[in-house]
Every structure is written in structure tokens, then in C-alpha cells.
Structure 1
């Protein structure tokens, strides 16, 4: 039996969704974020040295990283090949988006989150105004422009096809869901109708809805 070590409001929600799409039974070990730091609890380090989620345990295998887990699940349990394209160009797109999600887009979103919190506790109150000014400056002059560039890129891509890796839904769409949901939750998709349509299409999938029921509260869902 597969066990997913699942942190609330995190990337691990899409692993539950992948398993629901595949119809593979699994158990959930649920962890709650620290309410002050919003970090994962120390107990996750007993499962994986980095103490991050998701972590998949399948027999003797313990595997971290969302992209690696999704690839493993597709290769091991998608016997009909439903979630990986067969056509050459679509398959290369599939590989690209699996890596792009965490390699290119998520670092910008994490940086925006960090710089958005500059000037808040636990920073000493005397220097909080300086922290806020630095955070706003980095966001305005660098991060917001970079994220807008990526959103234009994604929107343009989806004008030519309904899904990220061609004409059919694939595991690449599951991998791309978390950063796009994170952007949408902050009102960042208003100018991008194709991204909005894509997000609506993935969130109404029965497997997505079932994963929400099993995974608990997930603030990024509409």
C-alpha cells in the first residue's frame, strides 16, 4: 500500500490527485503546518531528511519531489498510458512542463512570498519599515515583471492547445496545477482567460474533487 506524507495546503495535494486519477489505493499521513512559521513540522524529517512534503512511500521505496513522484506513479501504475502522451512533440512538451513547474515558475513565487513578508514579525520593529521597503522594491522592480512574463508565456501556449502537453489531459497538467492555483488565489489570472479556462477544466475533474475530500482543507482551490 502506498503512503503519501501530506502537508496541508501544499504541493502534496496534486499527488493525491494523481493517485485518484490512476485509481490506485493509498493511505495519507497528514501533517499540519506550524501556524506561526507556516513551515512543515519537524516530524516530517523522520520520513525524509529534508522534512518536506510530499513524500511517497511504496514498499521499500521512499521518494520525494513532486515531479519525481508523479513520474514514478505514471511509469509504475499508468498501465494504459493515459497520462503520458505518445506522440513525439507532445511527449517532449510533457517532459518540459513536468520540470518547468518547479524549476522555473515556483522559485519566483516562493521569492515573492518571502519578500512580501519582509517587515513583519519576527523582524525587529525598528527595522520593519526598511524591510517592507526592500520587499516592495524587489517585487515591483523584478519579481512582478518576471511573473508577468511567465504568465504571458503560459497564456500564449494555451491559445494553441487545451492542455499543457497537447490535445489530451496528462500528468503534466497535474504538475502545473499548484503554481497556477497559487497565482490565481492572489488574483493573478484576471488578464489570462486561457489559463482561467484551463484551471476551471482541471478543478472540475472528479479525481481532483475526490482528492480534495481526502486531503483536507486546501486554500488554493476555488
Structure 2
């Protein structure tokens, strides 16, 4: 059976959510973080890189959330939640699927690191995270989901930096009605609620 190694408050919530959306059987193994916030030694021992998420599928050990998401959707989900090149929203699907980690996650992580180091906030100019959130708000004013009218892997990839990562560094999104409405749609999905309850039972999802 597919085994999902989930580190609390991490990108691996995406994989738990994906399995719930696809309604495929999986074995969830939870790990709590060390007091420092680091992954425990047992988690780091699973893969040479030692970062979340990590899955095992038979003899295969795989990491990187984008790779895992596509692997599971294709190998165990019959390609569900993936848009092909023939779909009119294929370009949006590709962009947001990759933008999630390549740009949004990296930008928000810069804010997290700056906050931990006590670095002063930049004034008079927008940070990369500000630009990313502005782009998200504008796009969600035109689309129900990131790839258009259809919920896809792009949403599963994008939600983590828009929600759980805001537990590490506060961001006021009260002036982003499109994003707030989108997060409410996410929060209404039974699979998302089930995944968060199983993966991080002591955490309230950051949907506002």
C-alpha cells in the first residue's frame, strides 16, 4: 500500500489531501517536529535529502511534492486532477502547478526567514511574496480554481503557501476578497477537511 510520511505543518499536507481527493487507500505515518521546528531524525533517515514530503510505494521512495503529486495522480488516480495539452486551461494548469513551489513558496519562505532573523520589513516597495499574493488575487477574480473551472493538482500545490505557511509569518489577506472566497471553497471540500484532520489534528487550517 502507498505510504505517506507526513511531517506536521509541512508541504506533505498536500499529499494527504491528494490521496483523500482521489479516494485511494494509503497508510499515513505522522511525525511531529522537534522543539526547534526541525524534522525528527526518523524522518530525515527516510531519504538522503530528508525534507517533507516523502512517500513509499513498494520499493520506491520518492520526495518533492510536485513529483509525488503527479506520480500519485498518474499511477494511482488514473490521471485525475491533471489537465492535458488538449484542454483549453492547460497553460494555466501548468503555470500554477509550477508557480506554487518555484515562486510562491520560495517568496513566502524568504519572509519566514526574515522574520526569524528579526530583519526589518522593506518599506516603499513590494516583496516577492506581496507580488505573488497580488497575482493570486487578480487571477482568482477571473477563475473559480487556479486552472479555471476545474479543481486540479494546481490547487493542491498552491494552497499550502497561501494557508499553513501563514502560521509561520502573519499576512493580512482581509483586503483580498477573491482569495478569501477561494479559501472558503477549499475549506468546504470534504477531502481537504479530512486530510487536515488526519494530518494535523491539533491545527486549525488558516483559511481567513
TM-score by length of 1: 0.84
Shift in Å, 1:154: 1.0
* Aligned mate of 1:191, from 175, 179, 188: 175
- Residue 164 (structure 1) aligned to one of 131, 146, 149: 146
| Partner of residue 150, structure 1 | 132
Rg larger for:
1
Q: Residue 114 of structure 2: SS of its match in structure 1?
A: helix
SS of residue in 2 equivalent to 1:140: coil
Shift of 1:141: 4.3
Task: Name whichever of 207-216 and 172-181 sits farther off.
Answer: 207-216
Note the C-alpha offset of 1:169: 0.8
Whether the aligned pair in 2 keeps the contact of 1:4 and 1:26 (CA below 8 Å) is yes
Q: Structure 1 CA distance, aligned partners of 2:131 and 2:197?
A: 34
Runs of 5+ consecutive residues of structure 1 not aligned to the other structure: 119-131
Aligned to 1:27: 27
**Contact 1:108/1:143 (8 A) holds in 2:** no
1:60 deviation in Å?
1.7
CA distance in 1, matches of 2:135, 2:37: 30
Q: How many residues align?
A: 203
User: In the TM superposition, what is the alpha-carbon distance from 1:184 to its structure 2 partner?
Assistant: 5.3
Helix, strand or coil: the match of 2:105? helix
**Which whole-Å CA distance do the structure 1 matches of 2:6 and 2:171 have between them?**
26
TM-score (norm 2): 0.89
* SS in structure 2 of the partner of residue 30 of structure 1: strand
Whole-angstrom CA distance in 1 between matches of 2:125 and 2:113: 11
Q: How far is 1:49 from its partner?
A: 0.9
Instruction: Find the aligned partners of 1:97 and 1:172 in 2 and give their Cα distance.
Output: 5
Kindly indicate whether the alpha-carbon contact (under 8 Å) linking 1:8 and 1:218 is maintained by their aligned counterparts in 2. no
Structure 1 consecutive aligned stretches of length 4 or more whose deviation exceeds 4 Å:
141-144
Tell me, in whole angstroms, the C-alpha distance in 1 between the residues paired with 2:11 and 2:126.
Answer: 22
Q: Secondary structure at the match of 2:4?
A: strand
Rounded Cα–Cα distance in structure 1 between residues aligned with 2:186 and 2:106: 23
The Cα offsets for residues 146-184 of structure 1, whole Å up to 9 and x where unpaired, read as 222111111111111111011111111011010011465
What's the counterpart of residue 39 of structure 2?
A: 40
Q: Distance in 1 between matches of 2:81 and 2:55?
A: 19
User: Match for residue 192 of structure 2?
Assistant: 208
Superposed, 1:82-121 pairs within 5 Å as 82-86=80-84, 87-118=86-117
Equivalent residue for 1:15? Answer: 15
CA deviation vs aligned residue, 1:91-135 (integer Å, no higher than 9, x gap): 2221221111111011111111111112xxxxxxxxxxxxx3xx0
